Structure 1
Amino acid sequence: MRHFLKKIMSSHGSPEGARQHPIPEAPTRGDEGASQAPCHPTAIDNTQTVGSNPITTTSVHRLGFQIPTNSCSHRDLGFTGRLAGRWYAVYGDTLWCAPGVTDMLRDPPGFHGMVRDAVSLMTDDPLRVVDLHLNGDAPVPHPLQFVPFEARWGETNLFGFGGTSLCEVDAGEAVGAVYFLVNANEAGLIGAGVARVQVIDGTPTVTKRFGPRGYWWDSKCTARYGDVCAYRDERSEYIYIWGGPPTYITDWLNSSYTYLARVKAEDAFDLDKYEYYWGRQQGWKAEVLDRFTPETAVLWGTGQGQVFWSPYYERYVLVHLGTGGCTVFLRTASSLEGPWTPDVTVYTAAPIDGGLVYAGVAHPYLDPTGRTLVASYTNNNHIEVVKIVFG
């Protein structure tokens, strides 16, 4: 999950805490743009949506729940990314089902173990994934943690690592990067970082975390880059990473802004090569952003989501679910810096047992033409999948 505060386990092991508190309804303007930023009449606001959204849909079908073929657990997020010709999903909290349970919908009450993130191989069926890094549990194995905790940095197995998409660095060497947010529980969100991922024996494996304590961007004073979204842009040399503001910004309005950084993929493990976006008026700078305003932000109120290039619309598309509610939105842009168009509503989910619905995910690899899009989202620790047919 994105915002890790101290977690309390419910009867099914579902995390409670920051995401379980009621979220105020976002200010809106008009029928579209459900996460349009509040207007700041006396200041520059680069998060305001611009223009019209070309997306139209002819149908949207709910396909079902995404489940692993070789394990059984509840999970959230599942952001997709390509590495060496294959697509993988990075999940957040992965709550193991009871020993021997093969159907998560039949999991009995109780906490049966968990890891704070996991990785799976995507298949041609968006409802079926193959879990990787499995443990020795019998008769049903369970996923091990993807981003490892390190005792030498004072971390324990209770620390959270909220990751976003794998981003390819070197296809030939099967090397990628994963961006993550470190949660130290009582200490809160302490930093955002990057890890080197190498495909070893067909399995993406974290081989190194960067930074003196396993992360680069201190959450007390910098944006949490990579926490909201990470994207390897196929149309350039760059990886783009979006993140929320520092933790000293706590009010709902200002904590809902998102900030942007980028790096050439080949330089993903060199902090000095990163650039930070200071808004359309100032552009990209090597200087780390330290002014968190509507002028330097690029999005407001989207929550976590995923960006992809649509060959059908010839635009970038962001899949997201806003800051609360159950609706899947799509917005578009010709540039990853924005501005973005207003949202188009494509689907509204029914919350499971009154739980939270969040984190939009794209599966663009399933239709290279872009005429259709499979999208998923988290519905109370179930990954729910829909198929969108564009007009």
Structure 2
Amino acid sequence: MLYYATLFTSLLTGSVLADKNQHESKLTKPLIQTRQDETDPTQPVGTNPISRFETQYLGQQNPNNSCSHRDLGFTGELQGKWYAVYGDTLWCASGVTDPASDSDGFHGMVRDAVSLMTDDPLVVVDMHLNDDTPVRHQLQFVPFNTAWGEDNTYGFGGTSLFETAGGAGGLFYLVNANDAGLKGAGVAKVELVDGEPTVTQRFGDNGYWWPSGSTPRYGDVAAFRDLRSEYVYAWGGAPTSVTDSIGAQYVYLLRVKAADAYDLDRYEYWWGPDGWKTGQPLTEFGAQRAVAWFIGQGQIVWSEFYECYIFVHLSQYYSLHTLEVKLPSIFDAPSPGGSDVLLRTATSLEGPWTPDVKVYTATPIDGGLTYAGVAHPYLDPSGQTLTISYTNNNHIEVLKVTFSK
């Protein structure tokens, strides 16, 4: 997930998830949802129209001009082109052009990166390359700011790019200070500079607008530019101050008109039964203010085929250790993923959402983590097919789902 994806790697130690993966696989089990209150708006409602489909595994996604291991890769559109925003991007050894041939060890990394999508979901073009020879590697997309106490170990995992106005765009991201914990969720302005999406401004006195201790981590679950309206929506997990194992898994929603995305006062917050409130961030947390519970980080699309919204995500598994300590700290949080690729639907972005339908079960690579459902709707505007990618132990795997009625 937006912060889970960067928790277990470190520039200082060169760890690439192996030890954590071994530990998590012994401690996790599926969580059985026991809350059956019919007034809970986060419970699934109705029938999912996705019932007939075929799923084809396409392969692993890699760049054609660089070489690295990466996670996330959430897609978004800017000036007619689609880009993917990745989390931890671990460079392959010098001269290696195929990630499958990479040698063991740590060869350098950045905490997030951006790439141009192509007509082939298995091929991307990396942006912001350095001067390494003979193979260039990606540079940081969201810049760290030493004036705010940040350094190159900070994580800035981001969800989808979205277009704002005048050819510019935006990006939700979560500032992860590693041992010091999560700082907050923010928005960055993105502009095309020399043809590459470039973060030109981060908003907030400390580089974020929503402190993680007191407000939801907006954007860490999903972000979506709804072309059926003027709005950008962002879903975020509970504040870190919510420490009970149930309450910590609720997901909250905000929206803003895309043209107003750089103005904090214009943001609207979903207060459940009380509807949208402009400029009034949530101060109450729980089922009645939430829109979902215990979902993996993912991506939302509008389906012309089904005439509804589809949320793509992977199943969640819960750490037994978390249940024992009842503390959603960044190192004892729920594991970021199960192995099932899931689709749920809704006719309104506020919900309610239907039950999930499983379209694929991934096989974890080397016992690693699978997480972060990503949609590629630009490949088929009709919606009869939906190409999906997800992270499998720092590899991006790709599926194509063909629907029928």
Do both proteins adopt the same fold according to a TM-score greater than 0.5, normalized to the shorter chain? yes
Query: SS at 2:46's partner residue?
Result: coil
Counterparts of 1:262 and 1:332, CA distance in 2: 19
Give the residue type in structure 2 aligned to 1:185: N
Question: Contact 1:351 / 1:380 at 8 angstroms: preserved in 2?
Answer: yes
Aligned-residue offset at 1:6: 6.4
TM-score normalised according to structure 2 size: 0.90
Query: SS at 1:166's partner residue?
Result: strand
- Out of 129, 150, 153, the position equivalent to 1:155 is 150
Aligned-residue offset at 1:252: 3.5
- Out of 343, 368, 391, the position equivalent to 1:355 is 368
2:124 is equivalent to residue 117 of structure 1: no
Aligned CA distance change for structure 1 residues 40 and 289 (closer, same or farther; 3 Å): farther
Aligned position for 1:32: none
- Out of 376, 379, 386, the position equivalent to 1:366 is 379
Counterparts of 1:104 and 1:9, CA distance in 2: 19
Q: Deviations over 1:295-322 (max 9, x none)?
A: 1110112110000000000000000002
Aligned position for 1:338: 351
Aligned position for 1:183: 176
| Aligned counterparts, 1:367-386, within 5 A | 367-386=380-399
Aligned position for 1:71: 66
Question: Contact 1:81 / 1:89 at 8 angstroms: preserved in 2?
Answer: yes
Aligned position for 2:224: 231
- Out of 211, 219, 244, the position equivalent to 1:218 is 211
| Aligned counterparts, 1:1-391, within 5 A | 1-3=2-4, 4-5=6-7, 7=9, 13-15=15-17, 21=24, 22-28=27-33, 38-41=34-37, 44-170=39-165, 173-279=166-272, 281-286=273-278, 287-324=280-317, 325-391=338-404
Counterparts of 2:14 and 2:343, CA distance in 1: 32
Counterparts of 2:311 and 2:20, CA distance in 1: 24
TM-score normalised according to structure 1 size: 0.93
Counterparts of 1:263 and 1:50, CA distance in 2: 26
Q: Which structure 1 residue ranges, 5 or more long, are not aligned? A: 29-37
Give the residue type in structure 1 aligned to 2:369: L
Counterparts of 2:386 and 2:239, CA distance in 1: 33
Aligned-residue offset at 1:10: 11
Give the residue type in structure 2 aligned to 1:178: L
Question: Contact 1:6 / 1:188 at 8 angstroms: preserved in 2?
Answer: no
Greater CA drift, 207-216 or 253-262: 253-262
Aligned CA distance change for structure 1 residues 377 and 141 (closer, same or farther; 3 Å): same
Query: SS at 1:66's partner residue?
Result: strand
Give the residue type in structure 1 aligned to 2:396: I
What is the aligned-residue identity percentage?
61
Aligned length: 378
Aligned-residue offset at 1:267: 0.4
Question: Contact 1:90 / 1:118 at 8 angstroms: preserved in 2?
Answer: yes
Aligned CA distance change for structure 1 residues 111 and 140 (closer, same or farther; 3 Å): same
Counterparts of 1:314 and 1:348, CA distance in 2: 26
Counterparts of 1:357 and 1:89, CA distance in 2: 18
Question: Contact 1:331 / 1:343 at 8 angstroms: preserved in 2?
Answer: yes
Counterparts of 1:16 and 1:161, CA distance in 2: 22
Aligned CA distance change for structure 1 residues 267 and 194 (closer, same or farther; 3 Å): same
Aligned CA distance change for structure 1 residues 10 and 153 (closer, same or farther; 3 Å): closer
Aligned CA distance change for structure 1 residues 81 and 17 (closer, same or farther; 3 Å): farther
Aligned position for 1:34: none
Q: Deviations over 1:242-298 (max 9, x none)?
A: 00011122343222211000000000000000010011x111112110111011110
Question: Contact 1:9 / 1:16 at 8 angstroms: preserved in 2?
Answer: no
Aligned-residue offset at 1:17: 8.4
Q: Deviations over 1:193-226 (max 9, x none)?
A: 0000001121000000000000000001000001
